[in-house]
Amino acid sequence: MLSRVANTLYWMVRYVERADNLARLIDVNQQLLLDSERLDSERLRAFWQPIILSTGEEDLFGALYDEAGSSEVIRFLTDDTRNPNSITSCIGLARENARTVRDQLSDDLWESLNALYLFTRSPEASHLIASDPPRYYENIRRSSETFLGIAASTLSRDEAWEFMDLGRHLERADKTTRFLDVSSYLPGGEMGAAAPAGLHWSAILRSCGALGAFRALNRDINSHSVVDFLVFSRDFPRSVRFCIEKADVSLHRISGTPRGTFSNDAERATGRLLAELNFSTADDALSAGLHEYLDSLQTRFNRIGEAIFESYVLMPERIESCFMDPGQALSALAAWQMQQQQQQQQ
């Protein structure tokens, strides 16, 4: 398939997944706020700070807003188009990517994404954000799930599918680590099973849609058990290990190389990370310091993303360079695609 198309499908799905995760994050935390006593503005700021940090847009938020109250944070993350990582922006970017590869998508799939886009730009959406936020977020989540469901039931399991799946699982793994990292920024008693912190752990599980699956294991909710579940679970579809395994499978399907071996840097980076996850435990993650551990995971996800880009988008470009003019700078194509790639590096 065309390199540009592969790259575009990958980003389309990443943006949908990102919006879906954001909707969970905001919704869960907003509801969490209802459980706590009324917070003064200082404590409210402390409550939202980790959430903003987890999206990596703290500087932009500081530049755009003076206050850090609930309504400002929620607007910023939900429908502020000045924030490239707000829900509305992500859906807009997903659709823009989809539009340029419309021929690759089934009618139903395009229609579901376009309908979601039209919803995020509608007066109905603004009205819901103001009057009934849980319904708004539910709408975003349901629509993203519908999008994935339609993709799963209407697309052939070909190369295009694998690139989409890659995008989805890398985005998921990244978001799961970011949600876990929210705990690192919490004021006071961050580790351990103290009651108020316990509430945060269950909020994190809910952000990942994992509370039910976790409860089914009948374990206490504490840092150890939650990290074990969200990072190392073999079965839960949003755990880091699960996502990296899926990414590894996709990469090998694309190249046709047997698993356990590698034919390019993306496969090597993914395989190594998977092996480490396979042979590590929550103790390893916590003893290194959870924040540092999660941070290093994110760096490695980025490296995998770069390597995929390098192998499948830049390589064909390289062929041109050796045919034509070895000194030639990167084409506009590569520049544009690189821009999307780099936006991720934060």
Residue 40 interacting with another protein (CB under 8 A):
no
Quote the tokens at residue 200.
Answer: 């945060």
Cβ-proximal residues to 102 (8 Å cutoff; 6+ apart), any chain: 110
Helical pair 133-154 and 159-181, crossing angle rounded to 10 deg: 150
Distance in Å, CB of 163 to another protein, minimum: 8
Distance in Å, CB of 268 to another protein, minimum: 18
Residue 81 interacting with another protein (CB under 8 A):
no
Cβ-proximal residues to 55 (8 Å cutoff; 6+ apart), any chain: 22, 77, 85, 178
Query: Judged by CB under 8 A, which stretch of 37-45, 113-121, 176-184, 263-271 contacts another protein?
Result: 113-121
Residues touching another protein: how many (CB under 8 A)? 30
Query: Judged by CB under 8 A, which stretch of 57-65, 98-106, 125-133, 227-235 contacts another protein?
Result: 98-106
Cβ-proximal residues to 212 (8 Å cutoff; 6+ apart), any chain: none
Query: Judged by CB under 8 A, which stretch of 93-101, 205-213, 219-227, 262-270 contacts another protein?
Result: 93-101
Question: Site for another protein (CB under 8 A): which residue of 39, 60, 288, 333?
Answer: 333
Distance in Å, CB of 133 to another protein, minimum: 25
Residue 316 interacting with another protein (CB under 8 A):
yes
Residue 19 interacting with another protein (CB under 8 A):
no
Window 157 to 196, contacts with another protein (CB under 8 A): 159
- Which DSSP symbol is given to 122? S
Residue 147 interacting with another protein (CB under 8 A):
no
Residue 145 interacting with another protein (CB under 8 A):
no
Using only C-alpha atoms, the chain has a radius of gyration, in whole angstroms, of 20
Residue 1 interacting with another protein (CB under 8 A):
yes
- Which DSSP symbol is given to 264? S
- Which DSSP symbol is given to 97? H
The CA distance from 301 to 146, in Å, is 26
- Pick 146 or 281: Cβ nearer another protein: 146
Environment class of 91 (CB within 10 Å of its CB; exposed 0-12, middle 13-18, buried 19+): buried
Query: Judged by CB under 8 A, which stretch of 21-29, 109-117, 167-175, 192-200 contacts another protein?
Result: 109-117
On the CB side of 175, CA atoms within 13 Å amount to 28
Residue 102 interacting with another protein (CB under 8 A):
yes
Whether 166 contacts 251, CB under 8 Å: yes
Residue 35 interacting with another protein (CB under 8 A):
no
Whether 344 contacts 302, CB under 8 Å: yes
- Which DSSP symbol is given to 331? P
Question: Site for another protein (CB under 8 A): which residue of 59, 111, 124, 220?
Answer: 111
Question: Site for another protein (CB under 8 A): which residue of 40, 103, 188, 339?
Answer: 103
Window 245 to 274, contacts with another protein (CB under 8 A): 254
